[in-house]
Amino acid sequence: MTTLIILNLSAAFGVIDYPILLKRLEFSLTWEKSYLAERTQCVTMANITSSSVGLPIGVPQGSVL
């Protein structure tokens, strides 16, 4: 069963126009980079908000990435 699935996927990718596929992958990567770049965090408590702090690592909670 697994072999059939692999053969099916390789056959499907054999008919895709590679420039179109690469362009879509490039767009997806650009979107993901912008989603994760320059993220900041602050805390609000009793109507007082802290200053923003940069988040150079990590993925936001609830993210599907």
d(CA 12, CA 33): 28
Q: What's the pLDDT at 45?
A: 92
d(CA 12, CA 35): 30
47 pLDDT higher than 80: yes
64 pLDDT higher than 70: no
Q: What's the pLDDT at 32?
A: 84
**Position with higher pLDDT, 13 vs 37:** 37
Per-residue pLDDT of 11-32, as tens digits, reads 666 677 788 888 989 998 988 8
